[in-house]
Amino acid sequence: MTRIAFIGLGIMGGPMAANLVEAGHDVIGFNRSRAKVDALVDRGGRAAASVQEAVREADVVITMLPDSPDVERVVLGEDGVLAAARPGTLVVDASTIRPDVSVRIAEAARAKDVGALDAPVSGGEPAAIEGALSIMVGGESADVETARPVLEAVGSTVVHVGPAGSGQIVKAANQLIVAGTIQLVAEAIVFLEAHGVDAEQAVKVLAGGLAGNRILDRKSAGMLGREFTPGFRVDLHHKDLGIVTSAAREVGVAIPLGALAAQLMGALRAQGRGGLDHSALLLLVEQLSGRARS
Ligand code: NAD
């Protein structure tokens, strides 16, 4: 049993923390809004009233927060994780943030004799609930091995991809592929419907051939039914595509389709649709095609 502080109990963090309780760990949770902490307590976890209270006794601290500034504030801030963590604690950031911020956190942690890993995840809310996330881990090998039993309670694929920040680079590649694939699936669905083909049947056969992919499997039903409850919010994918485009630029790699996907995601957000699931890219395709329903 590991004593785990879990900070950020949202769409992903909530079920991840519950799975850690289920696996027999002692989980103490903190979230900005108290209702999410109460939900963890209902699942057998414990409640903390502050970051420091959660972290003080912990062996492992997991953060699952929206964006880089949130993680910087919670981990590096005056009342933050590193200020409260005992030497020997391991801090695992599962959020998707800028790789340079992960590197800075690892350096600040090392100065306090605290271990740090960037361990962003893929698989979305269903995989978080099932404990079947794919986890890309950056950091030192010894820390990865310490964290492995904890990570394996929330993920089915846990891979050490390199030093601090590498997990975030792999996650950025993940988000590049996901955005581009959603856009193509959205275009295919609007195209099929415009031709009067039964799109539901079409999706079934497409999923069995070379065009088959997880977006088609998991997101097409929602897209066909125009059901865009998140899931993964457009706001968050917009953030991730900002990370992708600047990280590609840093190394001089051209990502023309990725850049286009980033523009489309930004446009959807600018239309006030940042709170929808990222599969709502379909609405933009309809609009561009003069086929918007509302
Ligand atoms: P979310 O907004 O549902 O959850 C974030 C939680 O953090 C919220 O409950 C919020 O109240 C809490 N929070 C924010 N600031 C805080 C603070 N200072 N102190 C304590 N709690 C604070 O977001 P999510 O969808 O769970 O995503 C979390 C991270 O995981 C993001 O970086 C996202 O990009 C990444 N991610 C999300 C998905 C997905 O499908 N939702 C999949 C993979 C990765």
Give 250-269 as a DSSP string: HTT---HHHHHHHHHHHHHI
Is 113 within 8 Å of 87 (Cβ atoms)?
yes
Q: For position 73, what pLDDT does the model report?
A: 98
Take residue 141 and report the two structure tokens written for it. 């090998």
Residue 232 Cβ < 6 Å to ligand 1: yes
Cα 194 to ligand 1 centroid, rounded to whole Å: 37
Give mean pLDDT, residues 236-264.
98
Mutate which of 28, 31, 75, 136 for ligand 1 pocket (most atoms within 8 A of beta carbon): 31
Question: In the chain, where are the structural domains located?
Answer: 3-163, 169-288
Residue 9 Cβ < 6 Å to ligand 1: yes
CATH placement of domain 169-288: 1.10.1040.10
d(CA 276, CA 235): 8
Q: Identify the band that residue 101 occupies on the pLDDT scale cut at 50, 70 and 90.
A: very high
Take residue 138 and report the two structure tokens written for it. 């950056």
Q: Which CATH class is domain 3-163?
A: alpha beta
Residue 6 Cβ < 6 Å to ligand 1: no
Residue 11 Cβ < 6 Å to ligand 1: yes
What tens digit of pLDDT does each residue of 15-52 get?
999 999 999 999 999 999 999 999 999 999 999 999 99
- Mean pLDDT, the chain, integer: 98
Please identify which residue in the block is written with the tokens 């991840």. Answer: 16
Residues known to be catalytic: 171
Cα 77 to ligand 1 centroid, rounded to whole Å: 18
> How many C-beta atoms lie closer than 10 Å to residue 230's C-beta?
19
What residues have CB less than 8 Å from 281, skipping those under 6 apart? 179, 182, 183, 186, 264, 265, 268
Q: Identify the band that residue 293 occupies on the pLDDT scale cut at 50, 70 and 90.
A: confident
Cα 43 to ligand 1 centroid, rounded to whole Å: 19
What tens digit of pLDDT does each residue of 111-129 get?
999 999 999 999 999 999 9
Whether the predicted pLDDT of 141 surpasses 90: yes
